[in-house]
Amino acid sequence: MIIFDRKYVEARNWEHRARTVVELDEMRAVCRELIAEGEERLKSLPRGQDVVPISPERPRITVFVDEGGELLSDAKTKVKGEGDYQDVIETLRTIARKYRAAEIILVWATQKPTLSGDGHGIDSQIAGQMSVRLGLAVASQTDAQTVFGRSDWPAHDLPMPGYALVFDQDKGKDQRRNPIKLRYMTAQQVIALPARPIWYRTEEMPAVPEQATELRRPTLRLVKDGDVLLAPPEPAPAAEAGSAPVQLTDSEAKVLAALVAAAGPQRHRDLVEATDMAKATVSKAVRRLTGHGLVVRDGQTYTATSAAKEVSA
């Protein structure tokens, strides 16, 4: 699972089970990975099959957009010399339209299920691709009709919080409209869930990297009072003696030097401030350094490995 969360709050609870992205530059970088992964999967789809086979090496990827209205609004943000972030929204449209056959699934969540106007909560093209819709209690029949595409699904009349209606267009118009009871989990219960492998795709690695699962599997280190602390993923193996040294660009060298100087975990924004470089430039440098085994990521922070100190020196 990959969680896009511009509100920041929910994503923090899932860092040990999902790849979480909260900054727009990080979302742009992940979108590029998803496009590359989706295209490669579709090109490798066996003849006569409608959906790519999934496996531990090539898992189903669920892209969950939380607070979708916030993302739509923030994507209009102008960055000097770089335009806005509408390419992030365009990628999510592509995922919704094209990549279900590649087992890359988009789930969109919003508190305001409107398709247009100021502050709308979901993009109209994305909404048109949603074949399954789940609605909690909404404010009005108009909102219910926006969610389900029909006025006779009374999400505005649900009996109490915690109940929802689910509509699956593949089941046709005669499906039952009985409310279902949803399972509720506190933040502490989510944090206490066991860790699981987190998907990454980097420019330096093939689509199914050798030993990728082992290198990127977070490991549980301590469980205390409902808090789960994660050990960072193991770094890639050091290069063998006599092998060609890692060649770093100027931006990669600056990011690596900042991480080594910090001598501890750094957030993306910390690296932007320390290097005085654009967010996108820092994101690309960190991805490449991670691929080289010089940097490890743990949730929303980055740390230099022991090999990084030698390269930096």
More confident residue, 118 or 207: 118
Q: What is the pLDDT of residue 189?
A: 93
Q: What is the pLDDT of residue 47?
A: 86
On the question of pLDDT at 276 being above 70, the answer is: yes
Domain assignments of the chain as residue spans, ordered by start: 2-136+182-187, 232-312
Planar angle of CA 104, 164, 198, nearest 5 degrees: 30
Q: Write 207-215 long-range contacts (CB < 8 A, 24+).
A: 207/37, 207/40, 207/41, 207/58, 208/57, 208/58, 212/57, 213/56, 213/57
Using alpha carbons, select from 211, 232, 210 the residue that is nearest to residue 221.
232
Q: What is the pLDDT of residue 61?
A: 96
Q: What is the pLDDT of residue 62?
A: 95
Fold of 2-136+182-187: Rossmann fold (3.40.50)
Q: What is the pLDDT of residue 230?
A: 39
The arrangement of secondary structure in 232-312, i.e. its CATH architecture, is Orthogonal Bundle (1.10)
Rounded CA-CA distance 82/114 in Å is: 29
More confident residue, 229 or 282: 282
More confident residue, 138 or 186: 186
Per the prediction, the chain carries an average pLDDT of 78
On the question of pLDDT at 42 being above 90, the answer is: yes
On the question of pLDDT at 72 being above 80, the answer is: yes
On the question of pLDDT at 225 being above 60, the answer is: no
Q: What is the pLDDT of residues 298-310, one digit of tens each?
A: 767 888 888 776 7
CA 151 to chain centre: 33
* Residue 79, beta-bridge partner list: 83
289 sits in which H/E element: helix 279-291
Using alpha carbons, select from 18, 62, 21, 59 the residue that is nearest to residue 41.
59
Indicate whether this model's pTM tops 0.85.
no
For 267-281, what is the mean pLDDT?
85
On the question of pLDDT at 233 being above 60, the answer is: no
Task: Give the β-pairing of 104-108 and 61-66.
Answer: parallel
Number of Cβ atoms within 10 Å of the Cβ of 209: 17
Q: What is the pLDDT of residue 218?
A: 38
Q: What is the pLDDT of residue 143?
A: 78
Q: Under DSSP, is residue 63 helix (H, G, I), strand (E, B) or coil? A: strand
User: 99 with 62: CB under 8 angstroms?
Assistant: no
Using CB atoms within 10 Å of the CB of residue 184, give its burial: 0 to 12 exposed, 13 to 18 middle, 19+ buried.
Answer: exposed
Report which listed range, 141-145, 197-201, 238-242, is most confident: 197-201
Q: What percent of the chain has pLDDT over 70?
A: 80
Q: What is the pLDDT of residues 155-179, one digit of tens each?
A: 888 877 788 888 887 787 777 777 8
On the question of pLDDT at 210 being above 80, the answer is: no
User: 290 with 304: CB under 8 angstroms?
Assistant: no
